[in-house]
Amino acid sequence: MHSATAIVSAATDNPAARASEAVVVQVPSAGADTLTSWARLVTAVAPGMDTQALDGHWLTPDSLAALPAGALLLTADQHPGRQWRITLLRADPDADNGLTALAHWARRTPLGPQQLNAVRAHLAADAAGHTIAATITANRHPGRCHRCTRHVAARTGWFHRGPDGHLLTHRPGDCPPPAETVEPNTYPGRCLLCDGWVDAGDGRAVLLDAAPGPLTAAPAARRARYAPEHRTCPATPVPGPLTTDDRWCAHCRRRIHPGQGHRLPDRTHRHTTCPDHAPGPLWLVRRPAAALLAPGATTTVRLRPRPGEPPVPQHAPGARVLDESGFAELIATVEDATDPDGDGRTLALLRPATWDEAIPLLVERADLDLDAAPVASQYRAVWQRERICGDAPWLAEITGHHPRYGLQRTFLPARRGYDALQDRYGWRGVQYLWTLRTNRVYEAGWPVDPVDPAWRSIRRTGARTRVTAQERSLLRVTAQGDIERISREQAEAWLRNTAGTATPEARR
């Protein structure tokens, strides 16, 4: 029989036994000459004079169980010559192994009136509610230890049964000590000696921590911890594992193809040998799927240089600084582009376009700039839209560029007219009105059909959900005082020419 300290320590590794107020007991084991053996937690004794009168829960001999304090345990062993030895025990937290013997009998039959009356006399008042919180039994089949991951032969380990699942472990003290070194190393990692990279099978693994964690810990925390090291550290250690997919070099900013670079400890990537390339400023930019950048394309881009990247040179074609943080615009050529994360967004490498490459875009820009030239008239025009089924229109003035949203907007308050009692769907009719001025560009959005058929139910719930479709457009006031829709390119041209020249008085 194992010591009480070892039994309690092993059993309380089980989360159910540790969380309860139960007493951890060891069910007596059957002797070598035992023919039949059983044990039972008794919760009640019905009228009758045989084993059918007992009510309770069966237990396995030579197992650990978490029982309520004061619970009765009845065991019976049949020996050769049809001799039965019966023992009545009580769960006692002060006993050496959690059990106190109350009575012993030797009979030719399992139970009789004397034994049943004794059990009735010792039943606790709350015996009907006694249950087994958890049990630990001998394993019937071989397996792998949950604590040290080594092999456990049949009947040599403990099988933990609880509400959180079943676990197999060696008995306390039976887990073999982990090896100090393992050759070759099973897993790759950084060398303990030189901090270079060691691939799986190229070195040895050295033991760092042999103490196994509790059964409730994650598998990685339960096992002994090893770290790889070189058998003989090279003069120039490899900085990291080889790349297995396309990455970008942190040094030369060029693409690294699979197997041509390494991952560094700071999670950046670098070529094994950076290729020769023409000097010049380069930037990495990420674009959504709706604005993909193809290699070799020349386009107008706005970017904010990342840490370590150069600022946009002032002499580059179409270069213009947009704010004090370094956010700038220029005409650039795409050197390379890829989708490294597979989410449809392009990661592109850009360089300033040459003047020959930029000429077609500069010609198009000149035509747009003429159309966006400031006008001398100071006309004002009223733009209005109807609120439909509770969905209201909106208007914002375009004041510049934004690194995240593309355009910087200032939303303007509207005047409201309540001349119409109802809109065409029976909702309260409201007209939203704004005054637009020349030499400014606006963006507007307003509700349009179709309307959600369940819009009345949605509005009754108080939800601020849209029940209509929305149309959006960029607007400006012409020199004749008319409101016209314009394209995104025309708005960009206005930002290049008019936004910076309008005086504060003109903008009031």
| Closest among 421, 424, 415, 472 to 447, alpha carbons compared | 472
At residue 2, does pLDDT exceed 50?
Answer: no
pLDDT tens column, 406-448:
889 999 999 988 876 666 777 777 889 999 999 999 999 999 9
Confidence of residue 131 (pLDDT cuts 50, 70, 90): confident
Confidence of residue 138 (pLDDT cuts 50, 70, 90): confident
User: Taking the CB of residue 303, how many other CB atoms lie within 10 A of it?
Assistant: 20
Omega cis (within 30) before 450: yes
pLDDT tens column, 266-282:
888 889 888 877 667 88
* Arithmetic mean of pLDDT, 167-182: 84
Alpha helices by DSSP H, 251-320 = none
Confidence of residue 347 (pLDDT cuts 50, 70, 90): confident
User: Taking the CB of residue 267, how many other CB atoms lie within 10 A of it?
Assistant: 8
More confident residue, 211 or 484: 484
Confidence of residue 51 (pLDDT cuts 50, 70, 90): low
pLDDT, residue 9, reads 40
Q: Which long-range contacts (CB under 8 A, 24 or more apart) does 50-54 make?
A: 50/110, 50/111, 51/110, 51/111, 53/116, 54/111, 54/116, 54/119
Average pLDDT in the chain:
82
Find residue 230's DSSP bridge partners.
none
Dihedrals phi, psi of 106, to nearest 5 degrees: -125, 120
pLDDT, residue 219, reads 55
At residue 499, does pLDDT exceed 80?
Answer: no
Global pTM reads 0.52
Are the CB atoms for 346 and 364 separated by under 8 Å?
A: no
At residue 182, does pLDDT exceed 80?
Answer: yes
pLDDT, residue 367, reads 87
Query: Which uninterrupted H or E stretch holds 182?
Result: strand 181-182
Type of residue at 386: E
Strand positions, DSSP E, 320-379: 320-321, 328-338, 346-352
pLDDT, residue 1, reads 37
* Arithmetic mean of pLDDT, 450-464: 85
